[in-house]
Amino acid sequence: MLRYSAMLAVVGALLALSGAQAQSQDAASYPNRTVRIVVSAPPGGGVDIVARIIADKLAQRYGQTFVVENHAGAAGNLGSEAVAAAPADGYTLLAAQPAPLTTNIILYKKLNFDPAAFEPIAVMTTIPNMLIVRPDFPANSASEFIAYAKANPGKLNYASQGAGTTPHLTAELFQRDTGTKLVHVPYKGTAQAVNDLIASHVDLMFLEMGAGLELHRAGKARILAVTTLQRLDVLPDIPTLNEVGVTGFRSDTWNALAAPPKTPRAIVAKLNGAINDLFKLEDVQSRLLALSMQPVGGSPEEMAKFLKSETQRWGDVIRAANITAN
């Protein structure tokens, strides 16, 4: 019996070694064919732009095609579901906004995938958010805006890209922290929401800086505050919400790259290393800076820890506001 147990242990060890060697060989030859990066958002947004920059650079690095495919819908769930069901070989990747990787598990009664099961590769970029109002809004500062909102509960409406998106949750956090009451007007994308903001059909929006900065400069809308803890170099005269009394208020938009569950660690590590290398390139840094984005990178373990923290932080907001998406 002891001899039989010993033989089983040896066989198990050999199988494990064989599996590790196979994964190492797969990683060494990866990629040897086209890689699909599925973007769980419509074309033109931040995550789509970053995915295309990275796809182009990875194609140059490896001499293989990296094709970006937009698979939007259901707050990123449709694209995420498709990647979750794909083979775990590194040839289908997910480029996602926060919702499908963090808060959708709380917002939706049922998901056809487990966000926590994805293999984290890297957080790609982060973008500051800002409080931006229609061009003819009566308040001229963040302090005036808060006072106006408090004096007019339920009379101001704000746009977002839908229930559970970062602009929606940021507005809910703002209401909780300031004791104000705003009306949510959800849209199906950023373009529609912004168009109604500059046409004064909605009063305000918590918008990412890449989209809001040009509107502000062109006089099509007005930025009253940023949602970072320190002022931004590109907007030195615009205060943070923290400065005007909303203590500790912070919100940003980020995007990340992940792989299907059980993708070999060696392939994940190879992709992670490549992305961290790409973020050191001057042309990549300058392109991202022009889009008001900051490269993040880091290890898969750091991304996993970050996703857990974000899920907890925004999950508290969702539960407090009793937000559901279906």
Using one digit for the tens of pLDDT, what is the confidence trace for 141-188?
Answer: 999 999 999 999 999 999 998 888 899 999 999 999 999 999 999 998
Contact 272, 121 (CB under 8 A): yes
- Average pLDDT, integer, range 9-29: 61
Mean pLDDT of the chain: 92
**Strand-pair partners of 233:** none
- Average pLDDT, integer, range 203-229: 94
Report which of residues 131 and 16 the model is more confident about.
131
Residue 297: CB partners within 8 Å, gap ≥ 6?
122, 123, 124, 275, 276, 279
For residues 95 and 50, what is the distance between their CA atoms, to the nearest angstrom? 9
Question: 121: which 2 tokens?
Answer: 């590769």
Q: How far is CA 13 from CA 8, 16, 23, 269, 307, in A?
A: 9, 5, 15, 23, 34
Report the pLDDT value the prediction gives residue 122, as an integer from 0 to 100. Answer: 98
Q: How many CB atoms lie within 10 A of CB 167?
A: 25
Report the pLDDT value the prediction gives residue 24, as an integer from 0 to 100. Answer: 57
Report the pLDDT value the prediction gives residue 162, as an integer from 0 to 100. Answer: 84
For residues 150 and 249, what is the distance between their CA atoms, to the nearest angstrom? 18
Q: Can you tell me whether residue 191 is helix, strand or coil?
A: helix
Report the pLDDT value the prediction gives residue 8, as an integer from 0 to 100. Answer: 61
How confident is the model over 182-194, as pLDDT tens digits? 999 999 878 899 9
**Strand-pair partners of 184:** 158
Report the pLDDT value the prediction gives residue 189, as an integer from 0 to 100. Answer: 79
Pick from 40-44, 165-169, 175-179, 209-213 the range whose average pLDDT is largest. 175-179
Name the pLDDT band for 325 (thresholds 50, 70, 90). confident
Give this prediction's pTM.
0.86
Contact 239, 214 (CB under 8 A): no
Question: 52: which 2 tokens?
Answer: 């295309």
- Average pLDDT, integer, range 74-93: 96
